[in-house]
Amino acid sequence: MPYKGIWATKAASYIFSIREKNLLLGLARLGNKIGASLCGI
pLDDT value of residue 7: 87
Tens digit of pLDDT for each residue in 1-40?
567 788 889 999 999 999 999 999 999 999 999 888 888 7
pLDDT value of residue 1? 53
pLDDT of res. 41: 59
DSSP string, 8-35: HHHHHHHHHHHHHHHHHHHHHHHHHHHH
pTM above 0.85, yes or no: no
pLDDT attached to residue 19? 93
pLDDT attached to residue 2: 65
